[in-house]
Amino acid sequence: MGLTLAQKIIKNHLLSGDMTVGSEIGLKIDQTLTQDATGTMAYLEFEAMGVPRVKTERSVAYIDHNTLQTGFENADDHRYIQSVAKKHGIYFSRPGNGICHQVHLERFGIPGKTLIGSDSHTPTGGGIGMLAMGAGGLDVAVAMGGGPYYITMPKMLRINLIGKLGPWVSAKDVILEVLRILSVKGGVGKIVEYGGPGVATLTVPERATITNMGAELGATTSIFPSDEVTRSFLKAQGRESDWKELLPDDDAVYDETITIDLSALKPLAACPHSPDAVKTVDEIGPIKVDQVCIGSCTNSSYLDLMRVASILKGKTVHPDVSLAIAPGSKQVYNMLAQNGALADLISAGARILECACGPCIGMGQSPNSKGVSLRTFNRNFEGRSGTADAQIYLVSPETACASALSGVLTNPQTLGKEDPIALPETFLINDNMILPPASEEEAEKVEILRGPNIKEFPTTTALPHSIEAKALLKVGDNITTDHIMPAGAKILPYRSNIPYLSNFCFGVCDKEFPERCRQNGKGIIIGGANYGQGSSREHAALVPLYLGIKAVIVKSFARIHCANLANAGILPLAFENEADYDTIDQMDELELPNIREAIQNHGKILVKNKTKGTEFEVRAVLTDRQRNMVLAGGLLNYTREQN
């Protein structure tokens, strides 16, 4: 029986376990990346391990999230990350060089390599045939120190692409169609592998758009083959030597197969407030548009923005629409400036933003009250834009441009003949904004620079024999990490300051939650299905840890957040009978008797609702290794004990 492409890479990097679906495996990690919203904490954790120099083939620290500097906090974090990178063998991508996933695809990604990043959209690297996965910062720190990255062996889902995209239909419409079919929970426990004759019709930037938003499926990762299209892209980046062909075996066996006819797709949009609330643009109709934002790690490539420039050339943005465009990298920005496309964007009335995440994570460009904003981004969670009642739609660059010109949501197929856009034979190569680390000899002299906003990692303690605590919060299905620990310009500067950050925990759901935690000292969270979907931010576990949360009991978890809870020493528990969720009210007094013994011996876990006089069973969503971690009080404690 042959292997899928993902299985081949896993087999070549397997350090522990066997490739049986559902069992835990440990993988050797070749590359890591961090960004500044999660990177400060990841490097504090790396320092705590006492490893003098990273042991990966390539680790890169990017500055792309917290680039709006309204105080000293972000600048201090950037300075800290730069000094850590220089000392410990990490390449440093300076602010202004671009979004981590776009730059990594251009300059560092290598087919067949493993990559984990402290950002959930790290699967962008699957566009060139990497096994690229989002992870919590602590997992990234461990990998930088030479440790394995552990995942549950996923199922293999093949999406068979046939046909070719029609005029004005793009890669964004492909992944929106996949989300429409599978939902935000449909990729959980799976690797999505793209194949079929339609693959050859898609460029690397188009493939990267598709794998990028695989994160919204809840998938472990997504991956395309490395073929002649990949080779041409790497050659144009001056990196042809990094290319090798990677294909699945002809007799590879997949757990599930879905076929999508590219030629049958129409322009699509994800409606508020979920990436899987997908309809055709024509179904939604010509709603009035207040704002259009083009960019993010999903749609900010040279190919995307050349398409945008060709549509806007000689035209003017509708007077009722604010259009903002953020190039994904300095390379893209430079090339647009050199070939005149940037002038076309400016002349049309676009507001050009710096090469950063910007509006995608609420860092500026919040829409007006109740405003309709069309965005080429990957998430449209409620409040993420910075405006609580904004209506955010996710669309392709083509749909975004057509709508910016008309003032209403518009099918780009009404624009007439589509001009062909080709990738250049040679990209502009200028890596002067990427700083190499110091040599091992020089590293000893490098001083780590810490600002007053950088606080220590929260203290963790071993799992007690029993837990008695109130259900301090009860929430529903599809709670995102944006609900748990919001992003945005007001909050992101405090990602290295857990005590201050705790004031905003669950602010979208219940602004009284932090104070309730402080009054009670400890607590339990009750949640629905797919709890913790979205970002890889470990702060969504570290802040509840700081606030005294001992366990989270839900119907089901998103992969990365569940791992982050275990890393932090918080018990991730799932109802054996989901109907028991309805029997619990917020502030009920709960007891988990003999919980330490139950975790240690794989015993039955009973929860007593002392307020209601009832009891129910839950199961620990933990591997054997994670059980030992939780018993120790989290991954840092466990790592110290192992050493």
Residues 220 and 72 in one domain: yes
**Residue 511 domain-assigned (yes or no):** yes
- With respect to residue 635, please indicate whether it lies within any of the assigned structural domains: yes
Total of domains in the chain? 3
- Kindly provide the b/e burial profile for residues 392-427, where b requires at least 16 CB atoms within 10 angstroms of the residue's own CB: bbbbbbbbbbbbbbbbbbbbbbebeebeeeebeeeb
Paired tokens of 486: 């919001």
Torsion-angle region of 296 (φ positive above 0: left; ψ -120 to 50: alpha; else: beta): left
Residues 93 and 157 in one domain: yes
In sequence order, what are the beta bridge partners of 222? 192
> What DSSP character marks residue 459?
P
Collect all residues with Cβ–Cβ distance below 8 Å to 280 and sequence separation of at least 6.
Answer: 266, 267, 268, 269
Same domain, 476 and 392: no
Q: Which residue has the tokens 């990043």?
A: 117
pLDDT value of position 111: 98
Q: Which residue has the tokens 């472990």?
A: 220
CATH of the domain at 621: 3.20.19.10
Residues 124 and 272 in one domain: no
Q: Is the dihedral of CA 334, 339, 340, 344 positive or negative?
A: negative
pLDDT, residue 643, reads 63
Among candidate residues 44, 221, 36, 30, the one with its CA nearest the CA of residue 144: 30
| Count of residues making up the chain | 643
Residue 633 and residue 566: Cα distance in Å, rounded?
9
Q: Are residues 255 and 343 in the same domain?
A: no
- Residue segments in the chain with a per-residue pLDDT below the cut of 50: none
Question: 553 in a domain, yes or no?
Answer: yes
What are the helix (H) ranges across 15-97? 36-49, 72-88
**Structural domain for 567, as ranges:** 467-642
For residue 543, the 8-state DSSP code is: H
Of 249, 264, 279, the position where a domain reaches its end is: 264
Are 487 and 538 contacting, i.e. CB atoms less than 8 angstroms apart?
no
In a domain, 104, yes or no: yes
Same domain for 260 and 275: no
Among residues 266, 290, 268, which one has the least CA distance to residue 277?
A: 268
Helix or strand (DSSP H, E) at 23: none
Query: Among 264, 299, 315, where does a domain finish?
Result: 264
Cβ–Cβ < 8 Å for 463, 596: yes
Residue 327 and residue 338: Cα distance in Å, rounded?
A: 14
**Do 64 and 183 sit in the same domain of this protein?**
yes
Q: At residue 49, what is the residue type?
A: M
Q: Are 415 and 168 in contact (CB under 8 A)?
A: yes
State whether 567 and 605 are in the same domain: yes
pLDDT digits (tens, 9 = 90+) for 398-414: 999 999 999 999 999 99
Q: What is the pLDDT of residues 345-368, one digit of tens each?
A: 999 999 999 999 999 988 889 999
Q: Are residues 238 and 104 in the same domain?
A: yes
Contact 230, 99 (CB under 8 A): no
Per-residue confidence (pLDDT) for residue 630, from 0 to 100 = 96
| Residue 457 resides in a domain | no
> Are residues 509 and 620 both part of a single domain?
yes
460 domain-assigned: no
CA pair distance 212, 275, nearest whole angstrom: 13
Domain C-terminal end among 380, 412, 444: 412
Amino acid at residue number 456: E
> Is residue 525 assigned to a domain?
yes
Distance from C-alpha of 412 to C-alpha of 289, rounded to nearest angstrom: 15
Which tokens is 386 given? 């910075």
Q: Compute the C-alpha angle 262/174/123, nearest 5°.
A: 130
Residue 111, phi-psi category: left (phi > 0), alpha (psi -120 to 50), beta (remainder): beta
Residue 97's contacts (CB-CB under 8 Å, 6 or more residues apart) are 62, 63, 103, 329, 330, 355, 433, 434
Judge whether 499 lies within some domain. yes
* pLDDT value of position 591: 98
- What CATH number is attached to the domain comprising 328? 3.30.499.10
Check residue 504 and give its pLDDT: 94
* Residue among 637, 367, 618, 589 at smallest CA distance from 470: 589
CB 346 within 8 Å of CB 274:
no
Helix (H, G, I), strand (E, B) or coil at 373: strand
> β-strand 571-575 against 549-554: which pairing, if any?
parallel
Give the model's pLDDT for residue 305.
98
Q: Do 246 and 293 fall within a single domain?
A: no
Q: Are 541 and 569 contacting, i.e. CB atoms less than 8 angstroms apart?
A: no
State the Cα–Cα distance between residues 120 and 98, nearest whole angstrom. Answer: 17
The amino acid that residue 538 corresponds to is: E
Contact 66, 492 (CB under 8 A): yes
Does residue 290 share a domain with residue 198? no
- Quote the crossing angle between the two packed helices 36-49 and 635-642, to the nearest 10°: 30
